[in-house]
Structure formats: structure tokens, C-alpha cells
Amino acid sequence: MRKARGAAQNQRQHVKHTFDLICFSHLRWSFVYQRPQHLLSRYARERRVYFIEEPIFGDGSDRLESTTSPEGVHVIVPHLNHSTLDAVAAQSTMLRKLMGEQKIERYVSWYYTPMALPIAQDFEPLAVVYDCMDQLAAFKHAPPTLLERERDLFAQADVVFTGGYSLYEEKKHRHDNVHPFPSSVDVPHFAAARAPQEEPEDQKILRSPRLGFYGVIDERMDLELIAGVAAARPDWSLVLIGPVAKVDEESLPRAANIHYLGGKTYAELPNYAAGWDVALLPFARNESTEFISPTKTPEYLAAGLPVVSTSIRDVKDPYEALSLVRIADTVEDFVAACDAALNEPLGGHLVKADEFLAQLSWDKTWREMSLLVERAVQQRGEASARTAAVAPIELTSHGIAAEG
């Protein structure tokens, strides 16, 4: 029994250290530091990780641009000429060449976008992972074939992860191996915001109280709510940090107390949060936000901030249920919730927040997901071995079965 257990342990270790990871993503590695970066940076500590971005079209020849992130992830950007007739075939050919040059032979395919599936249709991974972090089909400018591609990906996947519980409820019936992994948090990173520190130059000139948001400013934001809050309380400074995407910048609300500070690095975020009095989640309630699980919710709490959010399902449960976040949707109610947050006892919510956060970490999330990936690799390998062990049966000219 001990010998068998030792053999099984050796097999698990073999699985862990002898495959690379090829990730196909709709997000740019350098865009916003979020779920893919947290997870894949941790994978890069123990194996090679190749992060394949969507192509950039231009006037030059078809090529792959390869850089290595500070975390050790190989970031691969396909550059295609505008005249390239078959973008899928071109990317597939270039990736196969890269795999040959890098001697990528044993690997797991990890998808954030189903749209990449045709590029790797002839690849032979040890397992296929779908980390479904959003309901992408509900996003603005989603490709019309995305739902069809997602059906194909579910059919090929060995294990599926979801970025929240509401998304899990929507996807769990489509695959027999789906696991919810809501957004986690690097507590020490954001807890630095609780300590006094030098304020960033572009924020320290803004008067208090300051109510802040960081993240992508896109169709998921309730711009009317932001405008209404700013108009109702001109004495508040609304600080909005992040890149603008998929919305016209001219459509953004403008007022003397609304301040767009642009994108900041992940390392800079605690420094900005340290100067806020309340953190905001002013999301619209529409198709694009129905299944989101904002990573910034636990990050705001780790920074020691009271949080006010609109009624996003994965914020209401568990955060509102545990009295960690105030929920409001109308301008009047949102202003009242922010007032209550500003007037609560200093640090009054920290004990409950810290008890909740003690259960969360990206390290823990990554370890649990890694075990499920390793199990998927092992199970697919065992299934292949069983198939190979069944010898083909042929009929002789006399109709007698013979082993081939």
C-alpha cells in the first residue's frame, strides 16, 4: 500500500513539473493587471507559460513578437499584415513554429477566449482548460460567433473555471467538471494603503472627501450615476482611475469635481487608495454586468476602505450579506450610502473585513485550480492509455476474429 501511494505521489509530481502552459487571451497582458496576470504569474514560478494575445494588424510582414514579463511569462503578440487572407491559418503556422523552436511538446491549453479555438484546433494538449472569467457574449462589440465557439470549447474542455458564483450558476449545466473561483486578492499588497504615505502628485491636489474607483472605464460603468452623484455633492471629489475602452471619451460625465487620472500600474493602486475616504463600484445594471465578479471588491476592503456599490449579484452575495459593502442604485440612495460610509466610525468595518479576507488569497486560489488542472491532465492521460490498450480487432477471410 505504501509503495502504491508513493508511486501515485511520484506520478503527481511528474504531472506538475513536466508540462508547459499555452494561454489564449482576449486581454492584453499589459492592459490591466487582473485575474489572468495573478494566476499565470504564479504558474510561471514552476513552468513555462506562453500568453498568446489577439493579433495586431498592420503593414509589415506576419510575425510573432515575443517578450518576457517581469513575472517570467512569455507574452506572444501575433502581427499580421492587413492583406493576410487567412488570419487563423497564419497564426496557427507561426505558433507551431514557435512551439518547435521552444521545444514545447507537453503542454496544457488554457483559454480565456473561445475565439482562439480555431487557431489551435490541430494541437494536441495534455488537457484543455477554460477559465471563464466573464460572460463575454454580453460585452459590447462581442463577435457574433462567440457563443458557437464557446459551445465548441465546452465540448473540448477537460475542466472549466468561472470567475464568480453567478457565472457558475449559468455555466454549471454545460459541463460536468465546472468549478467556481471568484476573484481573490493579494491582501498584503493592498493593505499597504492603510499606512500613511506620500500622496501621488496628481491626486494630492484634490480636495477631500475623495471617493474613488479604479478599473476599466467602459460600457459597464453607470455614467449617469457618476454624473448625478457629482452634481448632488459638489463638495466631494470623485476620482476615476483606469483606461477608457469601448465608450466615447466625449460621452464621459464632466464636472469640476470629477477627476479622470488615467491608467495606473498595479503597484501604484494602493498609493492612490490610501488617499480615498470611500471606494466605489458604480456599475450599470445591464447584460454586461449581470455575471461580473469585480476583483476590486476584496482589494478595496484590504485597503481598509468602506465600499459602496450598485446591486451587482456577486457583490450583494457575499459582501452585502456580510455587511461589508453598502448597496444602492439610484443617485439619491447612492449619495446616502456614501454619506453613511463617510460618517461611520474610523476603521469600524475593518474587523469584519479582515475576518473575511483571511480566507482569501490568489496563492490559495491558484493552488486549488492547479490541483484540478493536474487531475485533468492525469485523467486524460489515463483515458488515452486505456484506449491504446484495447487492441484493434479484425476479421480474417474466414470470418474469425483476430487480434491486430
Query: Which CATH number goes with the domain that contains 320?
Result: 3.40.50.2000
Average pLDDT over every residue of 284-297: 92
| Tally of CB atoms within 10 A around 267 | 10
- Does residue 215 sit in helix, strand or coil? coil
Residues 69 and 83 occupy one common structural domain:
yes
Q: What is the pLDDT of residue 378?
A: 95
Cβ atoms of 258 and 230 closer than 8 Å: yes
Residues 218 and 81 occupy one common structural domain:
no
What b/e string do you get for 57-84 counting C-beta neighbours within 10 Å, with b at 16 or more?
A: eeeeebebeeeebebebbbbbbbbeeeb
β pairing state of 74-81 and 63-68: antiparallel
Residues 339 and 374 occupy one common structural domain:
no
Q: What is the pLDDT of residue 350?
A: 92
What b/e string do you get for 133-157 counting C-beta neighbours within 10 Å, with b at 16 or more?
A: bbbbbbbeebeeebeebbeebbeeb
Q: Which domain-ending residue is among 317, 342, 357? A: 357
Residue identified by cell 489551435 is 120
Residues 56 and 155 occupy one common structural domain:
yes
Residues 203 and 346 occupy one common structural domain:
yes
In a domain, 402, yes or no: no
Name which residue leads in pLDDT, 93 or 401: 93
Q: What percent of the chain has pLDDT over 70?
A: 92
| CA gap 22, 140 in Å, rounded | 27
In a domain, 239, yes or no: yes
Q: Supply the range of the domain harboring residue 373.
A: 2-184+363-389
| CA gap 319, 330 in Å, rounded | 19
Output the average pLDDT for the chain.
Answer: 91
Residues 138 and 42 occupy one common structural domain:
yes
In a domain, 382, yes or no: yes
Chain centroid to CA 394: 50
Q: What is the pLDDT of residue 17?
A: 59
Count: domains in the chain: 2
pLDDT at 67 over 90: yes
pLDDT at 15 over 50: no
In a domain, 399, yes or no: no
Residues 368 and 309 occupy one common structural domain:
no
In a domain, 396, yes or no: no
| CA gap 62, 383 in Å, rounded | 38
| CA gap 193, 200 in Å, rounded | 12
In a domain, 195, yes or no: yes
Q: What is the pLDDT of residue 345?
A: 85
Residues 238 and 291 occupy one common structural domain:
yes
pLDDT class of 401 with cuts at 50, 70, 90: very low
pLDDT class of 382 with cuts at 50, 70, 90: confident
Burial of residue 263 (number of CB atoms within 10 Å: 0-12, 13-18, 19+): middle
Q: Encode pLDDT of 211-242 as tens digits.
A: 999 999 999 999 999 999 999 999 999 999 99
| CA gap 203, 53 in Å, rounded | 33
- Does residue 309 sit in helix, strand or coil? strand
| CA gap 301, 309 in Å, rounded | 13
Residues 152 and 297 occupy one common structural domain:
no
Residues 241 and 335 occupy one common structural domain:
yes
Residues 239 and 375 occupy one common structural domain:
no
Q: What is the pLDDT of residue 349?
A: 83
pLDDT at 389 over 80: no
Cβ atoms of 404 and 392 closer than 8 Å: yes
pLDDT at 272 over 50: yes
pLDDT at 14 over 70: no
Average pLDDT over every residue of 280-297: 93
pLDDT class of 10 with cuts at 50, 70, 90: very low
In a domain, 403, yes or no: no
pLDDT class of 4 with cuts at 50, 70, 90: very low
In a domain, 377, yes or no: yes
Lowest mean pLDDT across 96-100, 177-181, 316-320, 378-382: 378-382
Residues 269 and 177 occupy one common structural domain:
no
Residue of 125, 146, 129 whose CA lies nearest to 54:
146
